[in-house]
Amino acid sequence: MTDYLAELNQAQREAVLHKEGPLLIVAGAGAGKTKTLTHRILHLVRQGVEPRSILAITFTNKAAGELRERLQKLLASDDLPFASTFHSFGVFVLRNEAERLGLKKNFSIFDRDESLKTIKEAIKSLGLDPKTLEPRKVLNAISRAKSAGHNRSSFLESATSNSFFQKTVGQVWQKYNEGLHEAGALDFDDLLAETVRLFRERPEILGEYQKRFRYLHIDEYQDTNTIQYDLARLLAAAHRNVCVVGDVDQSIYSWRGADFENLLRFEEDYPEARVVTLEENYRSTQNILAAANAIIKKNTKRKEKNLFTKNGAGEKIDLLAGFDEADEAGQVAGKIAQLLAHRAKPEEIAILYRANFQSRALEEGLLRAGIAYQVLGTRFFEREEIKDMIAFLRATLNREDLFSLKRVINIPPRGIGKVTLAKIFSGNTNQLPASTQAKWQSFQTLLNEIKQMTEIMGANEVIKFVLEKSGWQKLLQAGGDDDKERLENLRELVTLAKKYDGLTGTNSTQALLDEAALVTDQDTLNEKKAGVKMMTVHAAKGLEFAHVFVTGLEQNLFPHVFMGVSDEARDEEEERRLFYVAITRAKEKLYLSYAETRTIFGGRQVNLPSEFIFDIEPELFANSLPTPLRDSVIMFWFVSHFSLILQCFTHDPCKKIFRSTLAHQQGCARENCRSWQPFGERHRARGGPGHREPYRALARSSG
């Protein structure tokens, strides 16, 4: 057996050795899926498969980069498989096939802000009021429709006779498409929608990509939406050598169109598929896994598995109960201070929360304690000066991109106002004063010079040229501290752009623009930067930390009351999956916290502890349930099930509750308690605890 196989466990080896035909790898949290995937690709290459015929698709640039780095080390070669995100692959196809689609090769990719502005203009052009017809809701509706595989026509066909909003969205969508076309641009969702359309309408082009990519690998398959699912099916149709890796228990993106049913139906799509389950966890301790298993086993729609580890039991879970969010934050900061005092690395500590608004109190707590931190989500490419430079480059490569032209025409200030801009973009430059025409001509000359630079120099040199030639650098150097910080950020962009120096012609600059358009929240995380990491649970997907704090564990916050709009049972299950993802980020120590009161929308709110806390066996906690928590539990269950409790009181075997809570718990476990049986069945069907659970909680509270 070769060395690279010897270091794998039995299940991993089984997945790696499977060469031909479809393969489903059900990979639990921390089960070494990336290692399995890279070693599988390595094995294919060792078996004579050309690296260029292997395609590996991930969901984040970070994951794709990590995959490429590992493969480069394993293969000891620069001849690597094609590893990218879904959207990066879409850009790759569309830039290659732009002419066949009637697009320019250097088409712009609109970010959300630019798409939103285009939607607003579309609404106004139809004589509608943006205050009444909220542009953000319209854009979200269009985005969801594209992710679900709809174009404008099919979207309108699905509208009911009384669906005024859907029909209005269809009208705006038409104008929105016209705006994108005029700008020579696609939006983020188009990158996949247009790729799928191209493959369906031009089977000969699809055949070319099927011939090249004979082996397809897709990570996080449970997070695919309809259009991603369609793309994968089209690519795999010819050879059926498709390997997908996923875990229903970690499906947490239904709000953006992800459908874990794609993973569950894989064996229906490919009846000959091999299924391998990875259950050995290499990340966490057994206590953490026991909590995770207890949480997720209550879900009904999943692939059964039970994580285990050889890491040992590890430390028990700490439960922190705060009076309010400030007290909770203070306790979290206190625990972190203790960890740091015992030489824990701050970058190995993470604070997770369900909603972004929770970060304020937690940040204040860390600031008071003098603890450095980093909040995930402040994107480098979203800084104004970076967006300005990106707009310069986009306007250079795509003169039809009026958004970019408008953004930079006065950087540095040239005295070109709105009226002048309107005349310029309507083609009436001859109506402008001679001095204004000269300013406009000077700007065009600058863009032409930048364009020439993009054809002979790398993106980093182009950026330096823009800074110097435009006078922008001189302006920032003469400014205050804020301007100097902006200049430093632009110089950091120069450093970032150096990695594309090996590309020729305009490809270097275009590659930088594509990276800017496709960046995700996780790409902003500087793992080497000293400081505690703060982020939402959604943003923490795929990451791991030695010490993890999961905060805000209150009913209606986590699980969130507003999660989802359809199937109630499924929504509850997604919240449980989200909590499962949160606690499985921890390697050594897990902390859970909640606040008894919290200010939300300006009002003070009394909270019940999250039901998730009581899904975990009490022996896994380092401390007993705090008194306020015990009282809240009693009140929670009594109020929630008052009518059922009254029914139970009329049932003779259940009257023992007055004598002994524990006796009732045991006595009511049998099927003869008819009053409770319907409730138990209904609650279990929704993924909740059985009918014994209220009394289990009461028994715990009674000592």
The number of beta carbons lying within 10 Å of the beta carbon of residue 663 is 14
Is pLDDT of 678 > 60?
no
- Polymer length in residues for the chain: 703
Determine the Cα–Cα distance for residues 434 and 218; give it in Å rounded to an integer: 59
* Residue given tokens 């606040």 in the structure block: 595
Residue 368: the pLDDT is: 93
Residue 608: the pLDDT is: 87
Question: How confident is the model over 170-189, as pLDDT tens digits?
Answer: 999 999 999 999 888 999 99
Question: How confident is the model over 290-339, as pLDDT tens digits?
Answer: 999 999 999 988 888 888 999 999 999 999 999 999 999 999 999 999 99
Decide: residue 653, CB within 10 A, 0-12 exposed, 13-18 middle, 19+ buried. Answer: middle
Reading phi first (left if > 0) and then psi (alpha if -120 to 50, else beta), residue 322 is in: beta
**Residue range 381-402: mean pLDDT, rounded:** 87
Determine the Cα–Cα distance for residues 648 and 667; give it in Å rounded to an integer: 12
Question: How confident is the model over 611-631, as pLDDT tens digits?
Answer: 999 899 999 999 865 554 445
Residue 277: the pLDDT is: 95
Q: Which of 115, 41, 56 is nearest to 88 (CA)?
A: 56
For all residues of the chain together, what is the average pLDDT?
83
**Residue range 432-460: mean pLDDT, rounded:** 86
Residue 406: the pLDDT is: 85
Is pLDDT of 635 > 70?
no
33 in catalytic set: yes
**Contact at 8 Å (CB) between 116 and 135?**
yes
Residue 595: the pLDDT is: 93
131 in catalytic set: no
Element (H, E) at 587: strand 586-595
pLDDT greater at residue 422 or residue 679 = 422
Work out the pLDDT band at 223, boundaries 50, 70, 90.
Answer: very high
- Please give the structure tokens belonging to residue 503: 């590309």
pLDDT greater at residue 46 or residue 505 = 46
Decide: residue 545, CB within 10 A, 0-12 exposed, 13-18 middle, 19+ buried. Answer: buried
pLDDT greater at residue 326 or residue 403 = 326
**Residue range 358-370: mean pLDDT, rounded:** 92
Residue 265: the pLDDT is: 93
Element (H, E) at 277: strand 274-278
Is pLDDT of 433 > 70?
yes
Determine the Cα–Cα distance for residues 403 and 185; give it in Å rounded to an integer: 10
**Contact at 8 Å (CB) between 472 and 466?**
yes
**Contact at 8 Å (CB) between 22 and 239?**
no
Determine the Cα–Cα distance for residues 515 and 523; give it in Å rounded to an integer: 10
**Contact at 8 Å (CB) between 219 and 55?**
no
Q: How, if at all, do strands 318-322 and 373-375 pair? A: unpaired
Residue 689: the pLDDT is: 40
Determine the Cα–Cα distance for residues 90 and 539; give it in Å rounded to an integer: 23
Determine the Cα–Cα distance for residues 589 and 284; give it in Å rounded to an integer: 9
219 in catalytic set: yes
Catalytic choice (12, 195, 226, 250): 250
Which residues, 6 or more positions from 638, have their beta carbon under 8 angstroms from its beta carbon?
A: 645
Residue 667: the pLDDT is: 44
Catalytic choice (12, 14, 33, 394): 33
3-state SS of 71-121 is HHHHHCCCCCCEEEEHHHHHHHHHHHCHHHHCCCCCCEEECHHHHHHHHHH
User: 3-class SS at 690?
Assistant: coil
Determine the Cα–Cα distance for residues 167 and 179; give it in Å rounded to an integer: 19
What are the C-alpha distances in Å from 633 to residues 123, 303, 462, 627, 695? 50, 32, 63, 10, 10
State whether the Cα torsion 510-225-54-207 is positive or negative: negative
Work out the pLDDT band at 79, boundaries 50, 70, 90.
Answer: confident
Radius of gyration of the chain (CA): 28
DSSP-assigned letters across all residues of 533-577: EEEETTTTTT--EEEEEE---BTBBTTBTTS-SS-HHHHHHHHHH
Least confident of 147-156, 211-220, 337-346, 411-420: 411-420
Question: How confident is the model over 542-559, as pLDDT tens digits?
Answer: 899 999 999 999 988 999
85 in catalytic set: no
Q: Which amino acid is at 299?
A: N
Catalytic choice (152, 214, 585, 589): 585
Catalytic choice (34, 168, 171, 429): 34
Is pLDDT of 157 > 70?
yes
Determine the Cα–Cα distance for residues 429 and 435; give it in Å rounded to an integer: 12
Residue 659: the pLDDT is: 42
Residue 529: the pLDDT is: 67
- Please give the structure tokens belonging to residue 455: 């054809």
Catalytic choice (189, 190, 194, 220): 220
pLDDT greater at residue 423 or residue 385 = 385
User: What phi and psi values does residue 426 have, to the nearest 5 degrees?
Assistant: -95, 0
Work out the pLDDT band at 399, boundaries 50, 70, 90.
Answer: confident
Residue 442: the pLDDT is: 85
414 in catalytic set: no
Least confident of 471-480, 486-495, 573-582, 677-686: 677-686
Residue 26: the pLDDT is: 95
Residue 10: the pLDDT is: 94
220 in catalytic set: yes
Question: How confident is the model over 572-610, as pLDDT tens digits?
Answer: 899 999 999 999 999 999 999 999 988 876 677 888 899
Is pLDDT of 522 > 90?
no
